[in-house]
Amino acid sequence: MTDAREPGDPVGPADRVARVPADRAPAGGTRLVLGDQPGVASLAGSAPGRRRPLVTGASVLPELVDVPERPRRLWRHPAFLVSAVLTLLALVAAAVLLVLSLTSDGPARVTGLELALDQGNAVLTWTGDEDAALYVVDGSEAQDLTQLVRGEQAWVPVALGLFGEDSCFVVRPATVEEPVTLTADGLAEQGGASACVADVDS
């Protein structure tokens, strides 16, 4: 094999490598064999006939399978739990209101009002479950005398000039805010009672 390079030509990398024919490999050396099989490189080592492949075995990734989602049971759904709790609270509140309505005696009322004159002084006694308000009515005018109330009775001195022979007293629950009335229907609606000086036996 002749070298076609002329003197003075530049020396390339390929010219620095000694070309050795494949059938003239050095004795005792390791021979690199490429292309033993198409697409596979292997080394011919000290064990003749046994070639170790230079590639790893191919591994196949497992195929991903969609797992069907299990439907959530109705009684475990948050909306169902919230609605159940609210329904239970509503039932409890309704039961409490029903018990209170059955055991309650109705709105507060003043009953058993009695008026007596003791040496001209007006003495009133009554029965009631709550604080009561006292009024003296002369014609169409009503004057608040609640400051004279002591428990379920009141004493109105004649010397104060707060009432006369035509005056009437009204006692009703202090929580009532409607105008004072002497009519039977109005007193019944307000839970009050009345007594007039003219009706007292002298």
Do 80 and 132 belong to one domain? no
Tens of pLDDT along the chain (202 residues)?
Answer: 445 555 555 555 444 444 445 555 555 555 555 545 555 555 444 455 555 555 555 566 667 767 677 766 666 677 878 888 899 999 999 988 888 766 655 567 888 899 999 888 999 999 886 789 999 998 888 999 999 999 899 999 998 889 988 899 999 998 888 899 888 898 988 889 999 998 887 5
Do 126 and 167 belong to one domain? yes
Do 91 and 160 belong to one domain? no
Residue 66 is assigned to a structural domain of this protein? no
Cα distances from 87 to residues 66, 72, 75, 82, 83, in angstroms, run: 39, 22, 14, 9, 6
Do 188 and 119 belong to one domain? yes
Residue 7 is assigned to a structural domain of this protein? no
Do 142 and 88 belong to one domain? no
Whether residue 152 contacts residue 141, with contact meaning beta carbons closer than 8 Å, is answered with: no
Q: How many other C-beta atoms lie within 10 A of the C-beta of residue 5? A: 11
Residue 25 is assigned to a structural domain of this protein? no
Range of the structural domain that residue 98 is part of: 74-103
Whether residue 193 contacts residue 170, with contact meaning beta carbons closer than 8 Å, is answered with: yes
HSE-up (13 A, CA, CB side) for residue 24: 4
Do 93 and 134 belong to one domain? no
* Cα 187 from Cα 58, distance rounded (Å): 103
Domain with 117 in it: what CATH number?
2.60.40
- Reported pTM: 0.48
Please tell me what DSSP assigns to residue 109. -
pLDDT tens track for 92-148: 999 888 887 666 555 678 888 999 998 889 999 998 867 899 999 988 889 999 999
Q: Could you tell me what percent of the chain has a pLDDT over 90? A: 24
Do 174 and 193 belong to one domain? yes
Overall number of domains in the chain: 2
Residue 162 is assigned to a structural domain of this protein? yes
Buried b or exposed e, range 158-182, using 16+ CB within 10 angstroms: eeeebbeeebbbbbbbeebeeebbe
Residue 48 is assigned to a structural domain of this protein? no
Do 194 and 118 belong to one domain? yes
Residue 16 is assigned to a structural domain of this protein? no
- What ranges in 44-151 are assigned the alpha helix state H? 78-103
Residue 90 is assigned to a structural domain of this protein? yes
